[in-house]
């Protein structure tokens, strides 16, 4: 019997004594008749105790019905509308949970990014959102560069990432993420799980391909947690993508005849507090060869043929370093879906 029940029981007995005034005989119990003052006091005490028990009981019900809320990890934490949460028994990877102390996130390791690329079936992702298209049409939409295959500046990179989960798993093993028997996901030498967070909007298209991508990562031993956040936070001027508040981030860039690739891939276009958060190099990728090529590629004083050579250099460096993973061309918008990797912003 809990404390509330005890209080209620005592209060009930006191109230009965006050009302009937004693004179009760039952088997071995003999309660004499009580004086009137004692009866009045007993009634008052009984009423107070019963009232207290009722109040405590209702209070407990209110508390138990209050929704639990998570304490934000930063002042710019998003309002999450969908989270694929892990089982309670699993241990999520901490910000420093990698085998290499120089990495604050697993995706800062090129082998992990390459593994993700090999474990990604772009054809299946595209088909999930455009199921009525033929295989040939879907192949035309999938991308291996930040430029469309029909773009004048496109050059197929020598570094390619076809769908090859076996190759991806080899890279993860080399990076120190092993898949032990009985484990749902890979862990490192400290037993920390390979868990990555993908931040994007709740757009139905991203909910759809995101679920397929999550399953593809699971097949390689990667625990992907999808965070579908408010677009106003994700694309805000002081929050989300521009501030580097993500690990993996899904979004799309517009298709342009003369894309300002320096704004997206130049070293001086990484948004920081020092440059007042200017630039769209969201990954924080700084490759000097690529950065110089990006500047030349956007120099309109050069001929298109000259610029194409620099676009080719940039595309090759992009494929080798993999600061982002191109996915597919959107048919409902003039842009292409891709995943940005946060390289340490």
The model's pLDDT over 100-128, given as tens digits with 9 standing for 90+, comes to: 556 789 999 999 999 999 999 999 999 99
What is the predicted pLDDT for the residue at 83? Answer: 32
Asked whether residue 75 is assigned to any structural domain, the reply reads no
In angstroms, the Cα distances linking 331 to 202, 247, 277, 306 are 18, 27, 31, 31
First to last CA, the chain: 57
Flag whether the pTM goes above 0.85.
no
pLDDT digits (tens, 9 = 90+) for 192-229: 999 999 999 999 999 999 999 999 999 999 999 999 99
Could you give the CA distance from residue 121 to residue 328 in angstroms, rounded to a whole number?
11
C-alpha 122/C-alpha 138 separation (Å) is 9
**What are the structure tokens assigned to 17, written together?**
């004594």
The domain that holds 291 is classified in CATH as 3.10.105.10
Q: Is residue 273 part of a domain?
A: yes
Q: Would 71 be classed as within a structural domain? A: no
Residues 139 and 252 in one domain: yes
Q: How far apart are CA 207 and CA 212, in angstroms?
A: 9
Let me know whether 327 and 264 are in one domain: yes
Does residue 201 form part of some domain?
yes
Beta carbons of 229 and 82 less than 8 angstroms apart: no
pLDDT digits over 11-48, tens only? 566 655 666 665 555 445 556 666 766 666 766 676 67
Q: What single-letter DSSP state applies at residue 149?
A: T
- Cα 262 to Cα 259, 292, 311, 328: the distances in Å are 9, 9, 11, 22
Look at residue 150 and tell me if it is in a domain: yes
In a shared domain, residues 295 and 175: yes
Q: Domain residues for 178?
A: 80-341
CA-to-CA distance for 97 and 189, rounded, in angstroms?
10
Helix (H, G, I), strand (E, B) or coil at 130: coil
Please report which confidence band the pLDDT of residue 269 belongs to, taking 50, 70 and 90 as the band edges. Answer: very high
Last residue of some domain: 65, 89, 107? 65
Res 97 pLDDT > 70:
no
Domain assignment present for residue 261? The answer is yes
Strand order in the sheet with 80-83: 80-83, 223-229, 195-200, 248-254, 335-341, 324-329
Number of domains into which the chain is organized: 2
């Amino acid at each position: 019997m809990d404390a509330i029940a005890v209080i209620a029981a005592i209060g009930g007995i006191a109230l009965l004594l006050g009302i009937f005034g004693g004179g009760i005989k039952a088997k071995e119990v003999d309660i004499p008749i009580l004086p009137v003052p004692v009866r009045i006091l007993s009634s008052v005490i009984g009423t107070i105790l019963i009232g207290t028990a009722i109040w405590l009981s209702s209070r407990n019900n209110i508390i138990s019905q209050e929704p639990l809320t998570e304490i934000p990890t930063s002042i710019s934490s998003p309002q999450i509308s969908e989270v694929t949460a892990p089982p309670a028994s699993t241990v999520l990877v901490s910000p420093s949970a990698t085998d290499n102390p120089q990495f604050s996130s697993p995706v800062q390791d090129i082998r992990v990014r390459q593994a993700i690329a090999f474990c990604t079936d772009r054809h299946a992702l595209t088909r999930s959102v455009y199921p009525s298209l033929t295989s040939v049409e879907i192949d035309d939409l999938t991308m291996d560069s930040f430029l469309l295959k029909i773009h004048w500046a496109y050059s197929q990179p020598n570094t390619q990432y076809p769908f090859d989960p076996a190759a991806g798993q080899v890279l993860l093993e080399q990076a120190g993420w092993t898949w032990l028997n009985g484990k749902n996901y890979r862990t490192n030498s400290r037993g920390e799980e390979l868990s990555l967070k993908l931040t994007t909007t709740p757009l139905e298209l991203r909910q759809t391909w995101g679920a397929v991508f999550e399953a593809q990562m699971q097949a390689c031993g990667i625990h992907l947690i999808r965070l579908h956040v408010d677009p106003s936070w994700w694309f805000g001027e002081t929050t989300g993508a521009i501030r580097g508040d993500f690990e993996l981030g899904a979004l799309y860039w517009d298709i342009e005849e003369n894309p300002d690739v320096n704004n997206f891939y130049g070293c001086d276009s990484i948004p920081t507090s020092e440059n007042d958060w200017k630039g769209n190099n969201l990954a924080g990728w700084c490759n000097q060869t690529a950065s110089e090529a990006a500047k030349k590629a956007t120099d309109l004083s050069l001929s298109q043929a000259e610029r194409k050579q620099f676009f080719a250099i940039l595309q090759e460096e992009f494929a080798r370093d993999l600061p982002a993973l191109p996915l597919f061309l959107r048919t409902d918008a003039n842009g292409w879906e891709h995943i940005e990797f946060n390289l340490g912003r």
